[in-house]
Structure 1
């Protein structure tokens, strides 16, 4: 199957039905041992220092891994993606735009996904068949999530990583399905390991891969990873079709729509506090204002830029925030 890069979660059901293997360029970038090299490639080619590291990393990962075709989400994700597609086109990479419509109506979502299917020459029947196959993996992701916030056996990083990888199934849907089942079987055999503080993580997945492990040192755990959970589509099984599934997907739409699900999860998971992650130079950072107004539990904002581990200042701030939460709970 031919590889096709994606800049964020898109209707992968359509791509798989069309004979493609989707590759999440974010994952390709941030899991690389030489992740900083991808940023350097972009900056050498003229990307400004004052631009999101994710965009620069996606650019470098695309060129260095010989990805010749890419889906760019031009509405509902990063505001720089449209120009990214134009620059990649000048480098010989074929780009396909896809939009999660800002107006967020069932009709508009159906129209965009129908255009997407037409672009790749696949029928709704074929797409729905693939969707049902993927839903088997999504059932396992739901089980993994429950092993975190109900059974208290999976840790926050496992919850983060294994749901995140459902954006592209780590390059192979069948193998990832087997891998996920094996991991769940291992986790189910563990003893219960509760933490005193139950945390929620809001925002795009972090640049810093050590965040989830760091908080566990302070008797705390992320039992809710908002966007990672959305990448796993926990409500897809109940959706009548692909149009309903992507209408119900919260990440690309306005903060008010996202908040409905966030508020439900805060209550369901009995959260003590929230860490809201924002990326430097990203427009989504402004959403922190609304989140702190609407949520009735403490919220701490941390910002990432180029580094893939927590700096000393952020560690101190996190430790102070967790100390405060422990005091409040006591």
Structure 2
């Protein structure tokens, strides 16, 4: 079967219903044994150094023939995807666009139209997709249980991150993914509770740092909330496929995310929030609103390249942890 790559989370049910294999291009980049080679290749090809490294990783993933077709999300994600789409087309790559509607007015109609266009492009229809999405209800409910076990201190923040990020494409095979998840949940439920001093949440795009969770856990912190990763798993239990993706907060305005974050802070009894931002990303501007409207202390950290947490960021995080511990006393 042909592989269809995408630049950020899309209604993956459409790809499966069309008997194609979904591939999250971000995951190809970040899970590679040497993701820096993706960045180097993109820069040698001419992409500016001051471009987000996730974009460079996506570019290289496509140019090195990882997929047969690309779905570029040009509405509701990185604005650089517009130029990336043009580059792919200039290179003769089969690429189509998908847009999450920004405005609240007629959002259902707009999203349904986008989904219908994509289904037609991939050789299926929305009725078939609607029926197929029932096949993913089981695995999505198990992902929800995994997130609950994270709140219950049975699953670590990194494990939570890894499973939820992987659910964007289910590693190309949702049946095998579900079997592996069942085995993991069975083991996790029998664990002793994780002992920790603080409960902290991550908001913002998934961090590019490779050892951030390990660093924080060694400091007695339990990451009990991964905001965007949780949204990637499509937590809505609505049966209407369009409404399900309207409940997905990431591609819409920041107010949707703020409401979700504050609700989860209370539910998970979080002591603080780490807001991760990627270098050269427009979402850094949203930090102003997040710090103003989030109901617990927030620290903002910035990452650029894959690898370990730099010394300056470690010092800032240590100071933030000490402040939260004093505040908790």
Q: Does TM, normalized by the shorter one, top 0.5?
A: yes
For the 8 Å contact 1:207–1:309, the answer to whether it is kept is no
State the Cα deviation string for residues 239-296 of structure 1 (Å, max 9, x = none): 1311101111100001011111111111111110000000000000011100000012
For the 8 Å contact 1:153–1:194, the answer to whether it is kept is no
State the Cα deviation string for residues 28-85 of structure 1 (Å, max 9, x = none): 1001012011111110111001100000011112222432310000010000001111
- Which residue of 2 is the match for residue 326 of structure 1? 325
With the length of structure 2 as denominator, give the TM-score of the two structures. 0.97
For the 8 Å contact 1:39–1:57, the answer to whether it is kept is yes
The alpha-carbon deviation at position 299 of structure 1 amounts to 0.3
- How far apart in 1 are the matches of 2:29 and 2:42? 12
- How far apart in 1 are the matches of 2:187 and 2:65? 33
Return 5+ residue gaps in structure 1 as ranges. Answer: none
- How far apart in 1 are the matches of 2:320 and 2:32? 31
- Which residue of 2 is the match for residue 125 of structure 1? 127
Name the SS for the 1:325 alignment partner.
Answer: helix
- Which residue of 1 is the match for residue 248 of structure 2? 249
Return 5+ residue gaps in structure 2 as ranges. Answer: none
Kindly report the root-mean-square deviation, in angstroms, between the aligned alpha carbons of the 2 structures.
Answer: 1.1
- Which residue of 1 is the match for residue 158 of structure 2? 157
Ranges of 4+ aligned residues in structure 1 off by more than 3 Å: none
- Which residue of 2 is the match for residue 60 of structure 1? 60
- Which residue of 2 is the match for residue 13 of structure 1? 13
- Which residue of 1 is the match for residue 198 of structure 2? 197
The alpha-carbon deviation at position 111 of structure 1 amounts to 1.7
- How far apart in 2 are the matches of 1:116 and 1:170? 21
1:26-65 to 2 correspondences below 5 Å:
26-65=26-65
Alignment of 1:288 with 2:290, yes or no, is no
1:207-226 to 2 correspondences below 5 Å:
207-226=208-227
- How far apart in 1 are the matches of 2:93 and 2:68? 5
State the Cα deviation string for residues 147-192 of structure 1 (Å, max 9, x = none): 110x211110011110111000012111111111111111111111
- How far apart in 2 are the matches of 1:220 and 1:65? 40
- How far apart in 2 are the matches of 1:17 and 1:172? 12
For the 8 Å contact 1:208–1:304, the answer to whether it is kept is yes
- How far apart in 2 are the matches of 1:161 and 1:295? 25
- How far apart in 1 are the matches of 2:23 and 2:172? 6
- Which residue of 1 is the match for residue 229 of structure 2? 228
Number of equivalences = 327
